[in-house]
Chain A
Amino acid sequence: MHLSILLPAVVNGVLTGALYALIALGLTLVYGVLHIINFAHGALLTAALFAAFFMHKTLGVDPYLAVLVLTPAFFVFGYGLQRFVIGPASHGNDGNILLVTLGLAVIIENALLFAFRGDTRTIDVAYGFSVVAVGGMFISVPRLIGFGGAIVVALLLWLLLGWTDTGKAIRAAAKEKLGAQLCGVDVAHIYAVTFGLGTACVAIAACLLIPTYYVNPHVGNAFVLIAFTTVVLGGMGSIPGALLGGLFVGVVESLCGLYLGESLGQIGIFLMFILVLLFRPSGLLGERA
């Protein structure tokens, strides 16, 4: 196939992949610290997309400004979910945590379905279709912003984990829960902060996505399996892994879509997912499980 078709497909894949990476970042952070897979992650993304949609629709707030409101709001929401629902309800049993997050996913998704019906909605912003020409390729501006935003968030998260006291407490709780507790770390609080950060990532991703994407009550499902794939590929709990995994998945999807058609493009991702889970469940960059 000619390079002039292949190259834009790869670039598009990278741009989409950065947002996959951002969503996966939240998932991998929660997994790395709480050692659970948050099955409500996709539903939380759907909720954030709806929030961004209605911020624009009813209040006229631009999605890129809505980030400033939705990120703290979803941080608090995530904090509350872990502190007051997931933590107490699961009695520290891993199987129970899986079931509680699944229950939350079912509740959030269907409450949205009940409130807003199954309609697919999009927003209209002036820059929705603007493009820049780079080396003979046209690149969508909102997707470029999305890419930049995802990289910035990953960087901030990395700084937070590496250089702040909260970050140190999070890493301590991830490594050795009991030891951290003995050193005076409030583990329940730190777990909730981590869950809040994961949820905040989803809110940022939603604001970056909404100008070029759509929202309906099931939209999160499309992303959640991709995020799982990304996280598994990059290694559960690894932040650089989530970034690289996201970009890789974006490119694979874009190329599969190009060669096999849209609906089978997704199959490429899932098959890759199953293969990685079967043969290298610790991921490409992850430590041994």
Chain B
Amino acid sequence: MNGSGFFSILAAVAALACIPLVIDSNVVLNFLVTALLLTLAGQGWNILGGYGGQYSFGHAAFFGTGAYATAILQTRYGLNAWPAFAAGIAAGAGAGAAIGALTFRSGLRGSYFALVTLAFAEVLRIIASVAPITGAGVGTLIKLDVGPRALQFASRASFYWLILALVAIALVVTRLIAQSRFGAQLVAVRENEDAARALGVDATRVKLGAITVSAAMAAAAGCFYAQYFLFIDAPIAYGPWISVEALLAPIIGGVGTVFGPLLGALLIKTLGEAAKLVTGDAPGLDLVVYGVVLIVVVAFAPRGLAGVVAGFRAWLPPPRKPGAGVHPA
């Protein structure tokens, strides 16, 4: 896709920023907030999985660390919400760097990497569900203190602009990485790690950088979650749901593209809401839909929505015979 320049980021963010001025519905805003929250976590996954080709099945480890750090620093250490938020992002990035250092240094790739990230998230979930500092099974409740000083807002719109600002930063960072030397090295590692090493790319360092940035974004989503819902417990923070959704968004939207996670998050949240409309309160069906969409996208549109759009554009102006040139070798 050509439209991933800074101008299109500015245009997309500006358009999204105007929505609360036009629509004054808490239901719509709440939907958009959760979609943008997922965009942020998905953009994190996209840096490591999309550009770097390292499929993590445990981004909950970073999301949860950010969420817990924000919540615990406020409730137990009386820290103001703003520095707590920043500390949460730093804690998540630290967790990413630590897990990355352990796994990439021992040369884990492919399915082994997916397994070990899953296991780290699971270990953290078990620890969080028994450790006293996280409130164990009860969870941690952040005290209600509405006001910008405590990073809590009475209106949904303010929360919406906050998460939109975070997403905008993530989009710009992704765009900067994609155009940088570091990004090129990351893509080289994805395409062929051994060849990249042979050409002098320090693959371990590149992947380490990617997982740190990736974890910081996922952690930012976690920090926002804690601030928005004012409650966090082990199944929310470290549960498999966020690991799955964080990888769904970029894969469905288009891996390794700047706007992929945003497109994917909007689509899967829409599908999830539609499934809920059909079934009411019965749990499970929205996730069944996600699973089906995941398989269908992998099977029929491996480059995601962004790939479909690009393919459509390429196909549109000079009408060709159907089927011709669809499969680039």
Contacts and interface: CB of A to CB of B under 8 A. Distances in A.
A144 to B, nearest CB: 30
A106 B287 contact: yes
B136 to A, nearest CB: 10
A251 to B, nearest CB: 20
A90 B298 CA distance: 7
A277 B298 contact: no
A110 B284 contact: yes
Contact of B119 (A225, A279, A281): A225
Nearest to B53: A95
A285 interface: no
Contacts of A39: 57, 114
A264 B130 contact: yes
B119 A107 contact: no
A89 interface: yes
Interface residues of B, number: 42
A99 B122 contact: no
Nearest to B49: A95
A14 interface: no
Interface in B165-191: none
A228 B115 contact: yes
Contacts of B294: 99-100, 102-103, 106
Contacts of B153: none
Contact of A267 (B108, B123, B299): B123
B129 A98 contact: no
Contact of B291 (A89, A110, A266): A110
Interface string B109-135: 011101110111011001101100000
A96 B291 contact: no
A271 B123 contact: yes
B111 A98 contact: yes
**Main SS class of interface, B:** helix
Contacts of A221: 240
A264 B284 CA distance: 29
Contacts of B329: none
A115 B283 CA distance: 9
Interface in A72-91: 85, 88-91
B191 to A, nearest CB: 12
Contacts of B119: 225, 228, 270, 273-274, 277
A113 interface: yes
B137 to A, nearest CB: 10
B190 to A, nearest CB: 10
Given A39-B57, A99-B251, A103-B291, A89 B116 contact: no
B55 interface: yes
A113 B292 contact: no
A36 interface: yes
Contacts of A217: 284
Given A114-B283, A281-B108, A232 B115 contact: yes
Interface in A43-97: 85, 88-91, 93-96
B299 to A, nearest CB: 4
A132 interface: no
B298 A107 contact: no
A16 to B, nearest CB: 18
A107 B285 CA distance: 9
A106 B111 contact: no
Most chain B C-beta atoms within 10 Å of own C-beta, residue among A88, A105, A225, A277: A277
18 contacts: A85-B295, A98-B111, A103-B298, A106-B287, A107-B288, A109-B287, A110-B284, A110-B285, A114-B283, A114-B284, A217-B284, A228-B118, A228-B119, A274-B102, A277-B106, A277-B108, A278-B102, A278-B108
Given A37-B111, A95-B55, A113-B284, 7 more contacts: A39-B114, A100-B294, A107-B291, A110-B291, A114-B282, A277-B115, A289-B112
